[in-house]
Each structure stands twice: as C-alpha cells, then as structure tokens.
C-alpha cells in the first residue's frame, strides 16, 4: 500500500487538486448559474499565493488562505456585476473574465513575472493537508446538497420562478454560489501552484475550463461525488491505457461530447437512476395498480 502510494503520489495529488478545480465550476452550475469564473479564481488564487510567498516571504498556509479569500471576494464582486445575465451570456462573460485574469498576469510586470510566470513558490504541502482541506469543502457541499438546502438549490436551478413563489431568495443563492466557487477555485489554484512551485499565465486558459467541465460532465454535475468520479477518470485513465495517453485530448473531447448528448447527469446520474429504480420497485408496482383503477 505505501509502495503504491509513494509511486503514485503525484497522481493522487493531481486527482485531489483537479477535484477542487472541478468543484469550483460545478457549484455555480448546480445553482443554475452557468459560470466559468472558477477557473479565473484558480488563477487569482494561484498568483496570490505565489506572490505572497515569493514577494512577501509568507509561509505556505497563510499564502493559500490569502489566495482563497481574495479570489472569493473578486468572484463575488463579479457575481454582483453579472448575476442578471442569462445562460450563454453568463457563460461567455465569465469566460471573458477568466481570460482577462490571464492577460493581467502577462502584464503584471515583476509582480506576476509577466509571460514567463512566477517561480520558486514551493510550499510545504502533503497529501494529508490537501485531504483535510477537501474534507472541509466536501462537508460544506454535502450540506448544500441534502435536506432542505439541497431542495432549495435544486429549485433555484430548475425553476427560478417557482423558487420565488415558494419564498426562496434566488438572487441570494446565486450570489452565494459565486462566492463559494471563488473560494474553492482559489484554494485549487493556491494548492496547485505551491505544489508545483510555479504558475504561468498560459495555465489559466481555456484548456483548464475543459478539464473542469470534463470531470463534471462525465462524473455528474449534481453532486461532489460526480466531480470526484470524473476527476479520478480524468487523471487515471491516461495512465492505464496508452492509446488514451497519446490521444488524450481527442479522447476527452469525444467523451465530453458523448456525455453531453447521452448522459446529461453523468455516470453518477446513471447509477442513481438504477438505485432509484431498484428501491422504488414496489411503489411503482402499486402505482400501476392505482392508475389502472383510476
């Protein structure tokens, strides 16, 4: 076990940071907000943490925390600006926001290291640390997915007008999703950067959006567990099948397209449907009788 762990420590850590990034995109989508600002938050969090370490001489965790807080605030402010936009317009505005972050990083001079990026921000992070942070994030997300909170968030996403009519403050929920997405994306960026010791503007690009989307769409957009399944598939599939390794991006493009067409709720959605059908087989039998009578 420990042999396996030490051989695969990089992959394990990549899985966890990919999961964080995917969650930062999944959260707003689950709230019915088509925002890609989580990837921008990844950039803000990564750069902030690196700047804090390199220029200010801070230690690892205060730097990561600063990155998460600042990206949370910035993305929340973005949410205030764009929250009235619908579907596609929201999507494109937030992609524009993400790409602006990267332009800012290119033009940041000494502070951001320009086009070459920032180097030498090696934090002291091990897998246990990442797991602890993930545990907190997942605990918060579980709270937003279950019981009354889960119901209300589903309503905000599926039918904002219905949400209003049963007394849910849709705007408040949407704004909260921006803040949450910003903090999670910032954490992902800070941790990833300090693990690798470097961040460049080229990393905060559209490819990152695709990585996050792939994980969510394949695994399932409705639950953190879906993002986890997606992150595992995304990170480990290339290591297992060499064909996938060679044509990685083609395979992912294909998987995303197929999932968008046939599995809108991802692998987790399929599993949940099966469980639901199994659990409710008696009720459905009763229903058939009931409807025959009526």
Site for another protein, residues 93 to 132, rule: CB under 8 A: 93, 95-97, 99-100, 103-104, 106-107, 115
Count of residues making up the chain:
294
Which range touches another protein (CB under 8 A), out of 5-13, 161-169, 178-186, 225-233? 161-169
Least distance to another protein, CB of residue 132, Å:
31
* Chain residues 172-231 in contact with another protein, contact rule CB under 8 A: 206, 209-210, 213, 217, 222
Q: Which distant-in-sequence residues (6+ apart) come within 8 Å of 53 by Cβ?
A: 59, 60, 63, 121, 123, 194
- Taking the complex as a whole, the smallest distance from the CB of residue 87 to another protein amounts, in Å, to 5
Strand ranges for 2-66 from DSSP E: none
Q: Binding of another protein at residue 166 (CB under 8 A)? A: yes
Binding residue for another protein, selected from 23, 44, 141, 259, defined by CB under 8 A: 259
Instruction: Please identify which residue in 82, 195, 204, 229 interacts with another protein, judged by CB under 8 A.
Output: 82
Which is nearer to another protein, 6 or 86 (by Cβ)?
86
Are 25 and 212 within 8 A, CB to CB? yes
Q: Which of 154, 175, 232, 236 binds another protein (CB under 8 A)?
A: 154
Question: Most distant CA pair in the chain: distance in Å?
Answer: 77
State how far the alpha carbon of 98 is from the alpha carbons of 40, 200, 202, 252, in Å: 4, 14, 12, 22
x/- contact string, 265-284, with another protein (CB under 8 A)? x----------x--xx--xx
Q: Which of 3, 86, 240, 278 binds another protein (CB under 8 A)?
A: 86
**59 versus 165: smaller Cβ distance to another protein:** 165
Q: Among candidates 266, 274, 205, which has minimal Cα distance to 30? A: 266
Which of positions 43-72 make contact with another protein (CB under 8 A)?
Answer: none
Q: 69: buried, middle or exposed (CB in 10 Å: 19+, 13-18, 0-12)?
A: middle
Question: Is the CA virtual torsion 135, 137, 140, 141 positive or negative?
Answer: negative
């Amino acid at each position: 076990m420990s042999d396996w762990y030490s051989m695969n420590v990089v992959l394990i850590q990549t899985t966890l940071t990919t999961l964080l990034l995917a969650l930062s995109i999944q959260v707003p989508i689950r709230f019915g907000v088509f925002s890609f600002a989580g990837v921008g938050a990844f950039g803000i969090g990564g750069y902030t943490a690196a700047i804090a370490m390199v220029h200010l001489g801070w230690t690892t965790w205060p730097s990561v925390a600063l990155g998460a807080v600042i990206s949370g605030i910035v993305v929340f402010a973005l949410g205030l600006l764009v929250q009235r936009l619908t579907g596609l317009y929201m999507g494109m505005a937030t992609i524009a926001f993400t790409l602006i972050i990267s332009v800012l990083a290119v033009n940041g001079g000494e502070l951001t290291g320009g086009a070459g990026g920032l180097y030498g921000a090696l934090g002291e992070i091990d897998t246990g640390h990442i797991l602890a942070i993930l545990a907190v994030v997942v605990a918060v997300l579980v709270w937003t997915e279950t019981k009354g909170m889960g119901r209300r968030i589903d309503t905000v996403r599926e039918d904002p007008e219905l949400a209003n009519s049963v007394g849910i403050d849709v705007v408040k929920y949407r704004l909260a999703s921006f803040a949450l997405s910003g903090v999670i994306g910032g954490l992902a960026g800070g941790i990833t950067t300090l693990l690798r010791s470097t961040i460049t503007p080229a990393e905060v690009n559209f490819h990152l959006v695709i990585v996050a989307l792939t994980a969510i769409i394949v695994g399932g957009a409705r639950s953190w567990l879906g993002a986890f399944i997606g992150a595992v598939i995304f990170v480990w599939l290339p290591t297992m099948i060499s064909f996938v390794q060679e044509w990685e991006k083609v395979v992912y493009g294909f998987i995303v397209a197929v999932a968008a067409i046939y599995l809108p709720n991802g692998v987790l959605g399929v599993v949940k449907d099966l469980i639901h059908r199994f659990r409710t087989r008696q009720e459905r039998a009763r229903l058939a009788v009931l409807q025959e009578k009526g």
